[in-house]
Amino acid sequence: MPEYKAPIRDIKFVMQELFDCDSHYQKLGYEDASLDMVDAIINEAAKFTEQVIAPINQIGDEQGCTWTDGKVTTPDGFKEAYQQYVEGGWPTLAQNVDFGGQGLPHSLNTAITELFSSANHSFAMYPGLSHGALATIEAHGNEQQKSQFIPKLVEGSWTGTMCLTEAHCGTDLGMLRTKAELNDDGSYSLTGSKIFISAGEHDLSDNIVHIVIARIPGSPEGSKGISLFIVPKFNVTDEGETSDRNAVSCGSIEHKMGINANATCVINFDGAKGYLIGEVNRGLNCMFTFMNVARLGVATEGVAAAEASFQGALAYAKDRLQMRSLSGVKNPEGPADAIIVHPDVRRMLLTQKSIAEGGRALIAYLAQLVDIGHASSCEEEKAAAETKLALLTPIAKAFLTELGLECTSHGVQVFGGHGFIKEWGMEQLMRDTKISCLYEGTTGIQALDLLARKILGSKGKILKAFGSEVTKFCLENADDDAMQEFIQPIMSFGGDWQKMTEKLGEKAMQNPDEIGAASVDYLMYSGYLTLAYFWAKMAKVAQDKLSEGSEEEAFYQAKIKTARFYFQRILPRAKGHAACVENGGQSMMALDADDFSF
């Protein structure tokens, strides 16, 4: 099993040097988030992930969760690790001080989340969904609901879930059958079943707070008739303490491809007591608060997977001896050279490195936008941040998870046959990561959201804020000879992005299927260009540091060289996606359904 080491230096580079988190935090009023405090928190998180969470990753995969008479038992070490997680105050980090949180920035918490996910994806998911539950209740719940549920969720003694999917109803939530009937006391009685509920039942916390969508009898059909409810595993008193068991049960757990140490549950509601959040029939609007938080979390999982797989592959490539270098012997004292000397191994390692580090920069940028939305006193600044988030969230979620999965495949490949063997841990990373491409909306769903709802729905206006930022950066560096290898491609690909968008708008007016046919390729093109922008920014910071005479010359040179690899070997992939968009959807729609025979 690879030994995970938190990439502290690179996290600090992104937060402190690329995005100047110190100025960002002070401007927003996060006075406690000094550089010393940020360093201390990251260092402590690194110790916790390396010493507590990472060591139980493999045993969690091997043992999985067990279900007996409705109760779920997590693998050895998970309960103890979660208790240490709570005692360490990690759940409270970025939560509201009014409910017992530390009030630190979301972006700092996001950096910590990456460490947890890299070290142990399954473990990280148990507290991970609590953040969405908290955000939903805080944004849409009434004062009584906030006082009842938020403090225990903040401290981590309770955890949260999101209950959307039903056996017949996945993405199309308007088809749901779970019903909610009004009780005399103003609560609701929920009846129905939900599937694929991550962390829906376990033995880590004292209570589990389910956020559930259901339909109140008499409500409109489809998505317009969906309401949202809080349904706890144990009923909760007005003072926020647990009482008797609610009519909520775990019918079974799924036997999955990966994340075996996280219980994915069938949850049955048999007249369970629940509490309406927000307005009747406005449940999806409230639910998007949860889903947007979760989508950024899943995007972070893609980066975490790329990092973990890169670390394992790099260590192996430096140690494994196979063949001689084509350009001459590099290890004359040994029978063969280390495989890291071979160009194809370098291709895979640099792909992993460029995606992990570029993705980390994108996630940090998005997390700072969330900070602005939470804490800025300027409504114009908040609106601009929300616009950029709306554009980039589906890109980050889909693009980074797809490439995260690719990076785990490279990790297996670098190990060769050993990568296919469980004891090395590389195949677990690949199995664990595939789910990130699926939940919180598949890649296809994210692509439709980006192209149909965001881009074409705004007639291209949503591109303006981020596009202007990229253009400004390019113009500011137009006379910098050292930056031209990065600036020119961005300008070229950016111009093509705009033209592609305009053509798609014209095609969609003639045939709406062109949107669906182009959407994933359009999103991937957008992702490659977006990451190119952040790699160019990192290259600029590295060049400036070298010009100042930094003693970390190797670190900054590696940034520039990795940026160059991304632009020369990864960014050109976007041209293939552009060609697919240009070729349209006629070929994929030409066969009748009955013609798909075998």
Q: Which sequence positions are flagged as catalytic?
A: 440
Q: In this structure, what DSSP letter does residue 149 have? A: H
Query: Cα(512)–Cα(385) distance, rounded to whole angstroms?
Result: 30
Query: Cα(282)–Cα(390) distance, rounded to whole angstroms?
Result: 20
Q: What angle do CA 392, 398, 400 make, to 5 degrees?
A: 85
The answer for residues whose C-beta is within 8 angstroms of residue 268's C-beta and 6 or more apart is: 192, 193, 248, 249, 250, 251
Query: Cα(179)–Cα(29) distance, rounded to whole angstroms?
Result: 44
Query: Cα(79)–Cα(440) distance, rounded to whole angstroms?
Result: 26
Tokens of 245: 């068991």
Q: What angle do CA 554, 556, 557 make, to 5 degrees?
A: 65
Q: Does residue 378 sit in helix, strand or coil?
A: coil
Query: How far does Cα 294 stand from its chain's mean position?
Result: 7
Q: What angle do CA 371, 375, 381 make, to 5 degrees?
A: 80
Element (H, E) at 207: strand 207-214
For the stretch 541-548, contacts whose Cβ atoms lie closer than 8 Å and that sit 24 or more positions apart, written own/partner, are: 541/13, 541/17, 541/18, 543/482, 543/483, 545/17
Residues across the chain:
598
The answer for residues whose C-beta is within 8 angstroms of residue 488's C-beta and 6 or more apart is: none
The answer for residues whose C-beta is within 8 angstroms of residue 142's C-beta and 6 or more apart is: none
Query: Cα(594)–Cα(433) distance, rounded to whole angstroms?
Result: 34
Residue written as tokens 């070929």?
A: 587
